[in-house]
Structure 1
């Protein structure tokens, strides 16, 4: 049963990564071109869009790799180990990095909202940073719980 569950989660991790790759390849250049057309005064904005969105894909894929490693630790019955704690810590740092990069892009959303007179664009720009912070907090909570479980387990091993 456990192998089937982790296999399903591995496939979910892979299927999460595929649309993000497609977005980076196809949608990010279009967003950059639209940004350059909407704001001709800021010609460099096209490259800024490329940098922010493609740079945030790097920690995203690193976090997916860490999730994949975490699932392999579960398969090897090493879920309650320091390796799992380190993987959760790296996932937390990746989520914080993604959030920080997208917060840096919020002025771009403000410029778009000002140009099109659509204040809802700013809220759209807040979706990714907010989701990343939620993931970072969740990973931090899991990391702390796992560390406490490891500590309790090691104390129990010493008493037996």
Structure 2
């Protein structure tokens, strides 16, 4: 694969991380405060929402780091190696973790939705859960294909 393609993908990975960082810095605290304002008698909801959203950001950035490493492996002609399989496995685990965290936080978002007129909060949470599951399945399929390709390559190396 040409170096320009992987460079483009590395830039895309970085550009994906920047808006999420902005959301974490500016929007998540407002969402947490909003949850606290909706239920003043349950002020701890603010902290639960903040913990859930920031906890989901950690595996997101770890998955971006793994994707960046995977692209570096491709640059160094190590695409068909166990380190690439491990990077895909880590991306799979991160995506499933994000889905699980948002699924656990779903009752919080449902409570928030009950007080808000347009029901967009749970829809956004379901979109995040669904897209994370799609990414996990995709990474799992790529991991399996890469593992099969490595096995085939090793078998061919042994027969020659």
In the alignment, is residue 154 of structure 1 matched against residue 121 of structure 2? no
Query: What 5-or-longer segments of structure 2 have no aligned partner?
Result: none
Most deviating of 81-90 and 111-120:
111-120
- Please list the CA deviations of residues 102-153 of structure 1 after superposition, one character each: whole Å capped at 9, or x if unmatched: 1111111211222235445422221111110110000000000000000001
Instruction: Report the counterpart of residue 100 of structure 2 in structure 1.
Output: 100
Aligned structure 1 segments of 4 or more residues deviating by more than 4 angstroms: 117-120
Q: Which residue of 1 aligns with 2:21?
A: 21
CA distance in 2, matches of 1:152, 1:12: 31
Deviations 1:2-54 (A, max 9, x none): 11000000000000011111110000000011111111121001111111111
Paired residues in the alignment total 160
Match of 2:133 in 1: 133
The whole-number CA distance in structure 2 between the counterparts of 1:60 and 1:125 is 15
What residue number does 2:65 align with? 65
Q: TM-score, normalised by structure 2?
A: 0.95
- Taking the aligned partners of 1:21 and 1:120, their CA distance within structure 2 comes to 21
What is the DSSP-based 3-state SS (H/G/I as helix, E as strand, rest coil) of the residue aligned with 2:77? coil
Partner deviation per Cα, 1:48-107 (whole Å, 9 max, x = no partner): 111111111111111111001100100010100000000000000000111111111111
Report what 2:81 is aligned to. 81
Q: What is aligned with 1:6?
A: 6
TM-score, scaled to structure 1: 0.95
Root-mean-square deviation over aligned CA pairs? 1.2
Gap regions ≥5 residues in structure 1? none
Q: CA separation in 1, counterparts of 2:76 and 2:34?
A: 48
Matched, 1:31 2:31: yes
